[in-house]
Amino acid sequence: MNICVIGCGYVGLTTGTVLSHFGHDVTCVDIDSQKVDALNNGVCIIHEDGLESMLQKQLQKGTLEFSTDIHKHLQRNAVILVAVGTPASATGKTDLTYIDQVIENITLSTQDDEKKTIIIKSTVPPGTNEYIQTRLIESGKRKDRFTVISNPEFLREGTALYDLLNPDKVVVGGRNPLELEFIRKMYAYLPSEYFFTSPVTAELIKYASNAFLATKISFINELQRICEAYKGDISVVAEAIGCDPRIGPHFLKAGLGYGGYCLPKDIQSLSHAATVKGVVPSLLYSVERVNNSQVDMYIDFLEKEAGDLNHRKITVWGLAFKSNTDDTRDSPSYRLIKRLNEKGAILTAYDPAAVNKSKIVRTSKDQYESIKDADILIIATDWMDFIEADWTKVKAEMNGSIIMDARNCLNPSDVRSAGLNYVAPGIG
Ligand code: UDX
């Protein structure tokens, strides 16, 4: 197939590269010419395991290219995969500006006698695929010019390639079973569970998936508060309940809360979509409320353990919203840094991959240099470098001894045996 991918963000870039690896001729277009130049030179713009080498291999083979010329590639390719951003607006309503621009570009670049298959990968509110189909049909004389297929993406940042090559499911929202066959062929008949459903159900599957994951996280975070009140141990509670297959062990790690580009905006978007139809999403509101108050809960806890934070030297390990990515969008670590700054703390941060974009915290390039003379160290991202830190060295560098594990990722006895004071809410 000749495929034009619109948008070189996480989803567009990784999907485009993998589709070229499957044997298709792929052109990924983006408005950012610097990004496009870097990618054409084989420089991967995101920290994603294995992606750069696959990208370079496909560029060399000549089956993958990047371009800013959207009209040329919309004209040349019969298959268009849409992976543009769908950010949340202030009201929680999804901002569909980029989707609207795509519709306009497709109508401008397509002749009435051409047929195009348009695959919507972007996460869009229920009804959007229908809206896209209607707008495209209305733009020309022939009703059969465009086939719009919803094919939501479930990849996680940090394991994007693995997830694309080993999907637990492929969701295809369409009107004709031939569309399912088309998508199976596009994914080189990857063994997976395929769901062929209406476009709106496909859209809702994507939101339901992220909403359920966020619910698990807020559930365990609320339990963590109860554990703290009764001096129970949230890690053991999570491990024990996770043995029940009806509950499962994943997404039960208490901590600073969920962040990143997807979960926060998708919960807001689903809540908004519900209220528009008169459904009150009480549970989703609670999920957000717990998440939005997690950082304050950690600050209160730290003040109880360490006293006034004003003028205290605090080092935060981790800026990325989770480990194995350099993405800091809506990172709980930054929410924490902002609150610590308001409290008057003197801040330093360190992250193995993420670049600091904030002026309120200075960063150190070295993990151990970052804690020199620190009173308190906070673990805000669960990077392996932190889990496996040399705690004797940490003790030698620091002035104080408080280590607050805000991701419940450390082994408390490793930390304590170095003479440090391990603290975390709900750890008994
Ligand atoms: C998410 C979905 O998992 C993925 O299926 C979808 O396609 C995109 O959104 P991602 O944004 O990469 O993926 O992050 P994810 O791994 O889901 O983590 C989200 C946040 O939850 C992170 O901040 C993470 O630290 C936090 N989290 C995760 C917890 O606090 N506890 C957990 O147990 C798991």
Residue 50 clears pLDDT 90, i.e. is over it: yes
Domain shared by 175 and 277, yes or no: no
Give 124 Cα–ligand 1 centroid separation in angstroms.
18
Last residue of a domain, one of 197, 224, 247: 197
In a domain, 216, yes or no: no
In terms of domains, do 13 and 151 share one? yes
330: number of CA atoms within 13 Å, CB side? Answer: 14
Q: Is residue 203 part of a domain?
A: no
The C-alpha atoms of residue 209 and residue 204 are separated, in whole angstroms, by 8
In this structure, the answer to whether residues 424 and 358 fall within a common structural domain is: yes
Residue among 182, 203, 175 at smallest CA distance from 86: 203
Residues 251 and 192 in one domain: no
Per residue in 124-150, pLDDT (tens digit) is 999 999 999 999 988 876 778 899 999
- pLDDT at position 228: 97
Catalytic site positions: 262
Whether residue 238 sits in one domain with residue 383? yes
Q: Which of 171, 197, 223 is the last residue of a domain?
A: 197
Mark whether 147 and 24 lie in a shared domain.
Answer: yes
Q: What is the pLDDT of residues 149-173, one digit of tens each?
A: 999 999 999 999 999 999 999 999 9
Residue 90's pLDDT is 87
Residues 260 and 176 occupy one common structural domain:
no
* Ligand 1: nearest atom to the Cα of 160: 12
Q: Which of 254, 384, 391, 406 is nearest to 334 (CA)?
A: 406
For residue 330, the model assigns a pLDDT of 96
Domain of residue 185, residue span: 2-197
Atom of ligand 1 nearest to the CA of 381: 25
3-state class (DSSP) for residue 55: helix
Section 184-195 average pLDDT: 96
Q: Which H or E element spans position 423?
A: strand 421-423
- Angstrom distance (rounded) from CA 316 to CA 77: 47
Q: Do 403 and 375 contact (CB within 8 A), yes or no?
A: no
In total, how many domains does the chain have? 2
CA 48 to centroid of ligand 1, rounded, Å: 15
End-to-end C-alpha distance for the chain, whole angstroms: 57
The answer on 399 and 293 residing in a single domain is: yes
Mean pLDDT value of segment 322-328: 95
Q: Is residue 217 part of a domain?
A: no
Read off the amino acid at residue 153. E
Going by DSSP bridges, is the β-strand pair 146-150/116-120 parallel, antiparallel, or unpaired?
Answer: parallel
Do 163 and 275 share a structural domain?
no
User: 365 with 411, same domain?
Assistant: yes
pLDDT (0 to 100) of residue 141: 67
The residue out of 143, 173, 197 marking a domain boundary is: 197
Residue 337 near residue 360 (C-beta atoms within 8 A): yes
When pLDDT is cut at 50, 70 and 90, the band that residue 253 belongs to is very high
Q: Is residue 224 assigned to a domain?
A: no
Q: Are residues 84 and 156 in the same domain?
A: yes
CATH code, 282: 3.40.50.720
Alpha-carbon span 198 to 173, nearest angstrom: 5
pLDDT-derived band at 291 (thresholds 50, 70, 90) equals very high
> For position 308, what pLDDT does the model report?
98
Instruction: State the distance from the centre of ligand 1 to the C-alpha of 302, rounded, in angstroms.
Output: 25
Is pLDDT at 420 greater than 80 in this prediction?
Answer: yes
